[in-house]
Structure 1
Amino acid sequence: MSSQPQLRLQFIVFALVAASFTNIYITQPVLPVLQNEFAADAVTVSYSVAAVILGIALANMPFGALVVALAGLLCAITDNLGLLIGARFVQGLFIPALTTCLAAFLARTLPSERLSVVMGSYVSATVIGGLGGRLLGGWIHPPLHWRYAFVFAAVWILIAGLIALLALPREERHHDQQKQQPSYWEIIKRWDPLRIYLVSCGSFFVFSSVFNYLPFRLEAPPSSLATEWITLLYLTYLMGVFIGPMAGKLSNRFGSAISMISGTLVLAFSMSLTLLSSIIAMVLALLGVCAGFFALHAAAVGTLNQRVTSGQGRANALYVLLYYLGGWIGITVCGLIYEQAGWNGAVMVCLGMLLIPLMIGITEQRCPNR
């Protein structure tokens, strides 16, 4: 493929992934605002993020951008919190149709020596989308209202989806190859991909919990930050743009196990820093949380697609299932802990969860192919 068509393809894929992920985290920086507007508790309004994550976890189905956009517009006009959460769940059901197949496509078409680096770039595209949604929700709210963020995201994903539909190349399918695809059960019962799924589940449990309850932590004393300043701290999410590709290169050079172990240790240390009341410490902590998490995520998804030689589509669908299921469980469990024991209690739960990727990283180092 020549450079110009390749750049065009990368741009289309990047725009579609970014537009999809923009819809996921729109309400995250304005959760305290939703709490006051709908007269609900912190756990209930957090379901406006958890519901879309649960929907993504449950659905890897061939639907389109139209439903995501329409559900987003419904979120923009409803005055019922239950309906907003339900519409967010519907968005989550349809987002995998726009993103999950891309990872499988890359795995089928790229040589193995480039796969880790390219998967790291794919992770970077999810970073831009995730950050864009947070900035959109948080920065639109002060001058206008958070509802306008949903309208903008709906228009964006409609445009990106239409461009992708018209311009992406069609992949030839071979029936003889499809007959050889392993089943979901055959993939997940193997210990080597299963432990990668557990890494993704445990790490996103921690990451989603930190960023979901961050607004409540920073709005309360002693920080007492306004929504726009809380949103500004989400810029630390940009760390993932650099860490994703870098983690892929480090995995190629030193092995994925080293990336997993080092990512877990950085993530754990950074989680501990969030216990301090200093804003400077919080900024450094969030930078470290992003660096550690995206190192884990890029190493895990790269390792999975190198290890699974057939059935990459199903293998990546299972990865997405466990990844987002971990995020939904994390938001739900840490929300209950946050209500009872505050931020310190939620951090302790997250530190305990990080034992999973740490132990699996050590296992990978000792016996990577067993």
Structure 2
Amino acid sequence: MSVGSKTGPVRVVLFNLAILSAGFVTFLNMWCTQSILPVLAATFHIPEARTSLTVTAPLVATAMMAPLIGAISDRFGRKKFIYGAGLVLVLPTLLAATAQSFDLFVLCRFLQGLTLPFIFAITVAYIGEETSGPATARLAGTYMSGTIFGGFSGRLITGFVTSEYGWRTALVVIAILTLLISLAVAALLPREQKFRPLFGIGRAMASFPLHLSNPRLLATFTVGFGVLFSLVAVFTYINFRLAAAPYALGPAALSGIFIVYLGGVVISPIAARLSNRFGRRVVMASAVPLILAGLALTLARPLPLIVLGLLLVCSAIFMQQTLATAFVSTVAQTAKSTAVGLYVTFYYVGGSFGGFVPAGLWRDYGWPGCVAIVIAMQIVMLAVMLRFWRPPGFVRDTAHDPA
């Protein structure tokens, strides 16, 4: 049952729109530099691979803050942090637009990352707390659709505005959109009804050992690490490949490549429904062959095949993310927001590694090296998921596996 299920259908729609918007505004900012990395390299006169720091900086900051934010939210509530963080986020976004050095620009991106988990982690905890059963998976799919559309829009907007008016103007546009959407979330998101401040901050932090000793939760953290590692590695380094000969794509064209993210908007709610019917393990396992097939297509020379491969990779990765995100609140035994905070930490640490670990492989082996490391990560994720996402008391010949 959802927060809005006892009200009219209009309120249910507005509630879903608020959740969608919270996901949108988070990733609008998180990924807004990824389509303009070659432009930033030229502006600041630095090697291309170094511009990946503009992607990893907010990921590192988010990973650092996420556990603490979960503990604070478990004590003080949900809604006010979700929309308040969006309003605060406007300031470092505007500062990034005025940065005169690359180091200052990276610092501004880091400051953006400090605010983002207030939206991401707390919204996921809000969903898990205010809904139950299949409604949780459906609303998680709605939220994931918002994050995917936000990530796509951030890249698209910065790419196209940069082509016409420059990257500084593009970031000002992102800041204005962030302000407007955050105000909409404040107006539309219902105040939490089931939240109870059961823990002080110290007691919430003390729940970490419980979470870290839960094998199914640890496995989910590992999957989250691998999801963002794979996504960042693919969509950071493919930019450098497509900006070089023979493609020589500019920022607008590179941002257009991210239209493949819309495949994730479609697939996330479908993945949630399939998991309710067939089980998370089955759906998650089916995502890996799609990713491997997509990666194989990106090794081809024709641009349409590369785009098709990216579509497969992106859609399947977002299947994985939808299932893992919903599973955290399900498998956490207590202090769910803190568990989500830990998940977010692993998730964004994985993204940080995905930004810089493939750099040496890119330098020495080019795009095939990046593909190889993503394949290795997907195999590890699959093995962990198959081993630990079994339900409690699993018996090998069990007819139905609801996990």
TM score, norm. by length of structure 2? 0.87
Local SS of the residue matching 1:95: helix
Aligned-partner Cα distance in 1 for 2:358–2:54: 15
Q: Which residue of 317, 331, 338 corresponds with 1:307?
A: 331
Local SS of the residue matching 1:141: helix
Q: Which residue of 133, 139, 144 corresponds with 1:123?
A: 144
Q: Which residue of 325, 345, 364 corresponds with 1:340?
A: 364
Shift of 1:26: 1.3
Q: Which residue of 345, 351, 356 corresponds with 2:375?
A: 351
The aligned amino acid for 2:28 is: T
Aligned-partner Cα distance in 2 for 1:309–1:241: 30
What corresponds to 1:260 in structure 2?
284
Aligned-partner Cα distance in 2 for 1:21–1:280: 26
Aligned-partner Cα distance in 2 for 1:174–1:219: 51
The aligned amino acid for 1:46 is: S
What corresponds to 2:36 in structure 1?
30
What corresponds to 2:3 in structure 1?
none
Q: Which runs of 5+ in 1 are unaligned?
A: none
Deviation per CA, 1:246-269, whole angstroms, max 9, x where unpaired? 111111111111111111221122
Shift of 1:364: 4.6
The aligned amino acid for 1:76 is: A
Deviation per CA, 1:328-360, whole angstroms, max 9, x where unpaired? 011110123212221111111111111121102
What corresponds to 1:197 in structure 2?
221
Aligned-partner Cα distance in 2 for 1:160–1:109: 22
Q: Does 1:153 pair with 2:177?
A: no
Aligned-partner Cα distance in 2 for 1:304–1:15: 21
Aligned-partner Cα distance in 2 for 1:102–1:96: 9
Q: Does 1:94 pair with 2:100?
A: no
Aligned residues: 368
What corresponds to 2:247 in structure 1?
223
Q: Which residue of 41, 48, 52 corresponds with 1:46?
A: 52
Q: Does 1:241 pair with 2:257?
A: no
Aligned-partner Cα distance in 1 for 2:300–2:196: 57
What corresponds to 1:57 in structure 2?
63
Aligned-partner Cα distance in 1 for 2:266–2:281: 19
What corresponds to 1:19 in structure 2?
25
Shift of 1:304: 2.3
Local SS of the residue matching 1:23: helix
Aligned-partner Cα distance in 2 for 1:145–1:358: 42
What corresponds to 1:368 in structure 2?
391
Aligned-partner Cα distance in 2 for 1:353–1:368: 24
The aligned amino acid for 1:291 is: S
Shift of 1:167: 4.8
Shift of 1:115: 1.5
Please report the RMSD computed on the Cα atoms of aligned residues, expressed in angstroms: 1.9
Contact kept, 8 Å, 2:223 with 2:324, in 1: the verdict is yes
The aligned amino acid for 1:29 is: S
Q: 1:130 to 1:258 in 2, by over 3 A?
A: same
Aligned-residue identity in percent: 29
Q: Does 1:273 pair with 2:297?
A: yes
Aligned-partner Cα distance in 2 for 1:11–1:113: 18
Aligned-partner Cα distance in 2 for 1:131–1:140: 14
Aligned-partner Cα distance in 1 for 2:189–2:249: 44
